[in-house]
């Protein structure tokens, strides 16, 4: 039996601009550990990822749309980064509402790199300690949070990491939150 058997994880992203490894690695590794992972994007079809915010990456098939999912069907939420993805998704009212719903329900919300912009938009950072891509530290502080330069930071239900290099610790922290 895999450690995450019976756990349902939702990954949300835009259809263009997600940092390739920040969506591919968590989806693959959480599935390998037994989780059922649903990938939701703004539109059905596929997600065109980028490598380093500029080079074309892999296409990722979507399972559904952000507007058609609800937090009550899932045990955790993952918000990958990529500057274009993160800047776009934080303006998506359905995505922001999902972050709020997961946080209010006490379910893990994991965001990496620029993904914490959506946490800021959802108003869940105040009084919390998080990490992110370094350029977000002023945004985190302005939202009432404390920013730290750590591979992974867990504060209550918020799990955050800085960049693709932190993915092993990020995925491990998600697994730990789902089995604790």
- Please list the active-site residues: 114
List the beta bridge partners of residue 155.
158
Q: Give the C-alpha separation, 58 to 116, whole Å.
A: 23
Q: Which of 42, 54, 57, 52 is nearest to 133 (CA)?
A: 52
- In whole angstroms, give the CA distance from residue 74 to residue 72: 6
Structure-token match 């080079």, residue found = 55
């Amino acid at each position: 039996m895999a450690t995450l058997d019976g756990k349902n994880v939702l990954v949300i992203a835009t259809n263009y601009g997600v940092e390739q490894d920040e969506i591919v690695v968590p989806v693959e590794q959480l599935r390998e550990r037994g989780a059922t992972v649903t990938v939701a994007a703004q539109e059905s079809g596929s997600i065109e990822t980028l490598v380093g915010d500029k080079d074309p990456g892999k296409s990722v098939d979507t399972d559904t749309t952000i507007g058609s999912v609800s937090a009550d069907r899932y045990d955790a939420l993952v918000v990958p980064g990529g500057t274009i993805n993160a800047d776009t998704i934080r303006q998506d009212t359905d995505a922001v509402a999902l972050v709020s719903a997961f946080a209010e329900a006490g379910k893990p919300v994991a965001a990496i790199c620029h993904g914490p912009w959506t946490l800021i938009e959802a108003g869940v950072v105040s009084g919390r300690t998080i990490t992110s891509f370094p350029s977000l530290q002023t945004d985190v502080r302005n939202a009432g949070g404390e920013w730290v330069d750590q591979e992974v930071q867990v504060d209550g239900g918020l799990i955050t990491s800085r960049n693709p290099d932190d993915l092993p610790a990020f995925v491990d922290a998600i697994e730990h939150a789902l089995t604790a």
